[in-house]
Amino acid sequence: MVGSWHRLGRDAYRHRVMTLKNSLFLIVLAAALTLSACSRGGNKAPAASSLTVTLVAAERRQIDREIVASGSVAAWQEMSLGVEVAGLRVANVLVEPGDKVVAGQALVELDRRTLDVQARQAEASLAQARANAELAISQEKRGATLLERNLISTNDFEVLRANRSKAEAQVVSAEAERDASKLRLGFATLRAPDAGVISTRNVQPGQIVSGGGELLRLIRRGRLEWRAEVSENDLPRIKVGATVDLRGPAGDVVTGVIRAVSPSIDPQTRTALVYADLEKPGALRAGMFAEGRLRVGKADVTVIPRQSVVFRDGYPYVFVMGEGGKVLQRRIESGPPQGEFIEVRSGLKDGEKVVARGAGFLSDGDIVKVVDGSTS
């Protein structure tokens, strides 16, 4: 009986040993198979794509060629307004900066009491001169009659004639003085020499004016212009009559027309001035700084969406599709944006597909998944 129990214990022990050996063998075999698979795959397991993108094909489009330049908005002609009399007090200022005025409109009124007195004095002097002239004419006529009768000498008659000439000259002088006094009286009211917009006011009621001093500034006819410096290399492409688009302070676009191109170039900056009329300046004001896009013609170019281009290290790049779902980063030469598109001058062929959305999150060699929305 005891011998039977010993045989059963040895059999159970042998069974556990064999089971343990079989388990170790399977573990070693699995590890060997795994190492073999890694060795055949270059020690790298295939990565699953984690980014989804859409594609778009580069296409040909006709665009407006543009030259981007910066300049300032200024008055077409700004007139400095003052009065031609001095020492008078300002009675009323009738306009404020920004007011639109018409030709002949009263702008500033001076205290005219002194000028009124001078005008009356001039009228009285004229009346007296005319009376003296009438008397001198009458005396000359009587002298002529007496001379015919030999009642006066020829010398006395010449004196009468000279008195008449003198009296008539005094009338002319008095008339000139009267006209001058009326002119000075007119200067007591400063009037707009032309239609326009008041840009500056340098006068206050009660102020004593000096002759020739600036009281107001007037933007003639309210016309503004854009003056920009353009490189000598771009100058030959700019023609009178071309249009330029300016960006207003509120984001609105203001269109101007090139009216003149400077015939000379600054030897220091190698630039020339370009002048553009702003018929409807909108929110633009004189003194503002604005960037303009000058349209200088049309051209057929390759374009892609602006969102397809990423800038890294100061250079533009796109991502094109490669083999095995990989994207390849490629540097391009880009032109100025054209609305939602951007010109590609080199680095990309027509019809070649690039990542349209999600390019900013990619790196060279990333595996991506293309989703619906791609365009051919």
Q: Which CATH number goes with the domain that contains 235?
A: 2.40.30.170
* Last residue within a domain, chosen from 282, 298, 314: 298
Residue 256 resides in a domain:
yes
Looking at the fold, whether 231 and 291 belong to one and the same domain comes out as yes
Q: Is the pLDDT of residue 46 over 90?
A: no
How far apart, in whole angstroms, are the C-alpha atoms of residue 176 and residue 184?
Answer: 12
CA distance linking residue 3 with residue 15, whole number of Å: 19
> Is residue 375 assigned to a domain?
no
Phi, psi of 180 (to 5 degrees): -65, -40
Q: Does the pLDDT of residue 3 top 70, yes or no?
A: no
Helix (H) or strand (E) holding 197: strand 196-201
Angle at the Cα of 212 from the Cα atoms of 211 and 213, rounded to 5 degrees: 95
**Residue 293: pLDDT over 80:** yes
Q: What is the mean pLDDT of residues 352-375?
A: 79
Whether the per-residue pLDDT at 253 is higher than 80: the answer is yes
* Residue scoring higher pLDDT (295 or 16): 295
Let me know whether 140 and 268 are in one domain.
no
* pLDDT at position 373 over 50: yes
Nearest to 219 by CA among 247, 241, 192, 243: 192
364 and 324 fall within a common domain: yes
User: Mean pLDDT score of the chain, rounded to an integer?
Assistant: 83
Residue 199 and residue 84 share a domain: yes
In this structure, the answer to whether residues 254 and 291 fall within a common structural domain is yes
Does the residue 101 lie in any domain? yes
pLDDT band at 316 (very low <50, low <70, confident <90, very high): very high
Q: Where is mean pLDDT largest: 93-97, 242-246, 251-255, 367-371? A: 93-97
Is residue 313 located within the same domain as residue 346? yes
- Kindly state whether residues 284 and 314 are assigned to the same domain: no
Residues 227, 217, single domain; the answer is no
Which one of 244, 264, 298 terminates a domain?
298
Q: Are strands 216-220 and 189-191 parallel, antiparallel or unpaired?
A: unpaired
Residue 98 and residue 200 in one domain: yes
Of all residues in the chain, the percent with pLDDT exceeding 90 is 44
Report the pLDDT averaged over residues 111-133.
93
Domain interval for residue 361 = 51-63+300-370
Structural domains counted in the chain = 5
3-class DSSP assignment, residue 57: strand
Q: Is the pTM of this model over 0.85?
A: no
Tokens at residue 353, please?
Answer: 């597909």
In a domain? residue 376:
no
The per-residue pLDDT for range 350-363, each reduced to its tens digit, is 888 889 877 878 88
Dist CA 348 CA 304 (whole Å): 10
| Phi (first) and psi of residue 364, to 5 degrees | -60, 125
**Cβ-based neighbour number of residue 195 at 10 Å:** 15
252 belongs to a structural domain: yes
